[in-house]
């Protein structure tokens, strides 16, 4: 029987954050078995650690949703790093993922074990007009709902995300979308999530991430999307000096999460950090 840990990332409260399954020894599992385990766990992603043929600090890491393999998953990476550190494998780990190498460092900060991942180099591109129009219709949004000073972009940080900045916090709270229609569009375009954000100030963003391609309506914390947001801000030249961006997510779902995003104007890589905590049996 495969031992599956269950953690929630980007929180210190088991009632918050984004849950992830973790299998710390997965070399004997086939792709089909990993997918079946992820489906049984039922979270947006489950992470599988691979050790054979690798020398620490290098470890393989794969991610499966209930429906398919995902190239990269930030919250499951953070959760895995914390789970490893709690079992004596802390410090710096280099995860070899389908999206490339991702370096993660764990350290205790004010009594809380936190993990920080450094993304692959981010990149952005314009959103094809037809795809943007279809996305807005599926999300039941109009052009008037978008922030005038933050244009839509596709941003990549291991996965590609459509980033849409909204004009008001209220409109973000009112998220309601056509699940099947958005899933079909995202599958066609190869988008992992649609990231809806509202900028409270230059250092604080509120975020919601529809994830129909993963079989769930919404993620309460999305590390890869937070990294993509950092790349988005770099592409718009909104970061002129090293800065930490606080991303608040999951509030409207009742699972508050906090993601810290460190960006530098001279580096296309982005660092995302947060805590993680193992879920008690009653909350699994």
* Catalytic residue IDs: 45
Q: How far apart are CA 284 and CA 266, in angstroms?
A: 42
Query: What is residue 241's three-state secondary structure?
Result: coil
What torsion do the CA atoms of 23, 90, 229, 41 make, to the nearest 10 degrees? 20
Helix ranges (H only) for 68-222 are 74-86, 129-138, 169-173, 179-189
Task: From 275, 281, 282, select the one nearest 16 (Cα to Cα).
Answer: 275
- Is 78 exposed, middle or buried, given 0-12, 13-18 or 19+ CB atoms closer than 10 A? buried
Task: Measure the CA–CA gap between 26 and 44, rounded to whole angstroms.
Answer: 18
How far is the first Cα of the chain from the last one, in angstroms, to the nearest whole number?
18
């Amino acid at each position: 029987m495969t031992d599956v840990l269950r953690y929630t990332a980007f929180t210190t409260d088991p009632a918050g954050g984004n849950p992830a399954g973790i299998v710390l020894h997965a070399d004997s599992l086939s792709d089909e078995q990993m997918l079946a385990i992820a489906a049984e766990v039922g979270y947006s992603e489950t992470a599988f650690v691979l050790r054979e043929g690798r020398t620490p600090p290098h470890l393989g890491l794969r991610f499966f949703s209930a429906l398919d393999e995902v190239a990269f998953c930030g919250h499951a990476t953070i959760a895995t790093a914390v789970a490893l550190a709690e079992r004596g494998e802390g410090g710096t780990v280099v995860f070899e993922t389908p999206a490339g190498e991702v370096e993660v460092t764990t350290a205790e900060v004010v009594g809380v074990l936190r993990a920080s991942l450094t993304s692959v180099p981010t990149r952005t591109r314009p959103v094809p007009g037809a795809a943007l129009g279809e996305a807005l219709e599926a999300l039941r949004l109009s052009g008037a709902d978008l922030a005038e000073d933050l244009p839509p972009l596709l941003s990549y940080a291991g996965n590609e995300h459509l980033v849409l900045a909204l004009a008001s916090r209220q409109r973000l709270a009112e998220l309601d979308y056509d699940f099947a229609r958005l899933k079909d569009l995202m599958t066609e375009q190869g988008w992992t999530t649609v990231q809806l954000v509202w900028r409270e100030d230059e250092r604080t963003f509120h975020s919601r991430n529809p994830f129909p391609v993963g079989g769930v309506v919404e993620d309460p914390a999305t590390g890869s999307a937070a990294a993509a947001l950092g790349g988005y801000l770099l592409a718009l030249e909104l970061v002129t000096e090293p800065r930490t961006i606080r991303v608040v997510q999951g509030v409207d779902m009742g699972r508050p999460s906090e993601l810290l995003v460190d960006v530098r104007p001279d580096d296309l890589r982005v660092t995302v950090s947060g805590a993680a905590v193992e879920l008690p049996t009653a909350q699994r």
